[in-house]
């Protein structure tokens, strides 16, 4: 009898212990911050969130963008949002998320997909990823510029389709950087990094335009600050590195292209909407400018039947400026660290000032 009594006592104590532990577990779970991750991200970045011990993660684990309806459902009640530039973070989404949302961390340098006024009204903090993709973007800009100026895509096609015949003096001649003038629209980190890489090619002169002169940065490459019109008129190569804002939307338009040299090469690795693509098409087809290289377009992806794809003097890449393994991993880790810092009310590594 006493054994049965002892057994009942032990079971009771075990039940109390299990119940107590379950209560503590439930309490811990209730204290976890709800986080929505809107895309498949590098494992190191996801593991950082998982190992933090402060996140309850909902994850759209796909290479493809999350459908809008799924995104609106997924963010409901979230404390934190880990997003990409493909997600429109507007009033509708913020309303769907609700009042708990305290931090948005975007795996991008650009923030034109964020409705900053709506975010600011709600007191939500925003993390982003400048600096880490500067070198990769500058390298891709160089590759795109050289491929466009030296007509590399045309040359590859001719070699493949049998157009490569006997040597001809002027066949597939492009334009070189030696003794050229390069115009930089937006002399920030990336614009400067591109200029630094261009300098050893023998560029004679750098011009730049921005919201205001940047003498300290310009001094590093001996660049001259000029109005946009003068930059268009004097540059052999124009490369665009400005942020997309209401002021820069459609900045490179018919008027801009009409002032450029007929041999000029135009490169854009910033945001597609900085360029009026219809005006660019007209400039390329009428010989108003020589050629163009784009890593960004409107929309993205650009439809395969878009008229720009039919032009031999236009090179289009699928937005791959930051596409190195090291850079994308660094961006993802920075996004996770920004998110965790925001959830803990600590300073972010890179926070967008609102």
Q: Which residues are catalytic?
A: 319
Q: Using CA atoms, how far apart are residues 339 and 105, in angstroms rounded to an integer?
A: 5
- As beta bridge partners, residue 294 has 268, 316
The helix or strand, by DSSP H or E, that contains position 280, with its residue range, turns out to be helix 277-285
- Residue 123: closest CA among 100, 146, 150: 100
* Per-state percent for the chain, helix, strand, coil, to nearest 5: 45, 15, 40
Edge-to-edge strand ranges of the sheet holding 55-59 = 55-59, 33-37, 80-83, 103-106, 125-127
- Within 10 Å of residue 68's Cβ, how many Cβ atoms? 12
Q: Which CB contacts under 8 angstroms, 24+ apart, belong to 317-322?
A: 317/140, 317/144, 317/293, 319/295, 320/140, 320/295, 321/133, 321/136, 321/137, 321/140, 321/141, 321/269, 321/295, 321/296, 322/133, 322/136, 322/137, 322/140
Phi, psi (degrees; rounded to nearest 5) at 184: -115, 120
For residue 238, give the nearest of 179, 181, 311 by alpha carbon: 181
Gap between the Cα atoms of 6 and 51, Å rounded: 41
SS3 200: helix
- For residues 196 and 221, give the distance between their C-alpha atoms in angstroms, rounded to a whole number: 7
């Amino acid at each position: 009898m006493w054994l049965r009594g002892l057994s009942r006592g032990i079971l009771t104590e075990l039940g109390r212990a299990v119940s107590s532990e379950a209560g503590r577990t439930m309490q811990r779970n209730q204290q976890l911050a709800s986080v929505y991750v809107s895309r498949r991200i590098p494992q190191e970045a996801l593991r950082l969130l998982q190992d933090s011990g402060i996140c309850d993660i909902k994850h759209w684990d796909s290479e493809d963008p999350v459908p809008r309806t799924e995104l609106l459902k997924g963010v409901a009640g979230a404390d934190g949002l880990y997003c990409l530039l493909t997600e429109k973070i507007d009033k509708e989404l913020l309303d769907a998320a609700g009042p708990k949302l305290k931090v948005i961390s975007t795996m991008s340098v650009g923030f034109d997909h964020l409705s900053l006024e709506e975010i600011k009204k709600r007191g939500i903090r925003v993390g982003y990823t400048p600096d880490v993709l500067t070198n990769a973007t500058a390298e891709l800009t160089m590759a795109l510029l050289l491929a466009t100026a030296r007509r590399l895509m045309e040359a590859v096609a001719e070699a493949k389709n049998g157009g490569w015949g006997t040597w001809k003096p002027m066949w597939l001649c492009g334009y070189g950087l030696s003794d050229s003038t390069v115009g930089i629209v937006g002399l920030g980190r990336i614009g400067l990094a591109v200029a630094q890489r261009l300098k050893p090619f023998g560029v004679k002169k750098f011009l730049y335009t921005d919201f205001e002169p940047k003498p300290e940065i310009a001094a590093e490459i001996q660049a001259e600050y000029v109005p946009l019109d003068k930059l268009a008129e004097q540059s052999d190569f124009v490369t665009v590195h400005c942020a997309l804002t209401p002021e820069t939307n459609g900045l490179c338009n018919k008027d801009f292209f009409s002032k450029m040299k007929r041999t000029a090469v135009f490169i854009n690795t910033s945001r597609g909407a900085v360029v009026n693509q219809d005006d660019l098409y007209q400039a390329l087809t009428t010989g108003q400018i020589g050629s163009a290289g784009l890593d960004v377009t409107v929309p993205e992806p650009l439809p395969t039947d878009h008229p720009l794809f039919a032009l031999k003097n236009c090179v289009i890449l699928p937005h791959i400026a930051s596409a190195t393994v090291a850079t994308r991993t660094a961006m993802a880790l920075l996004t996770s660290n920004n998110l965790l810092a925001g959830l803990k009310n600590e300073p972010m590594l890179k926070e967008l000032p609102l």
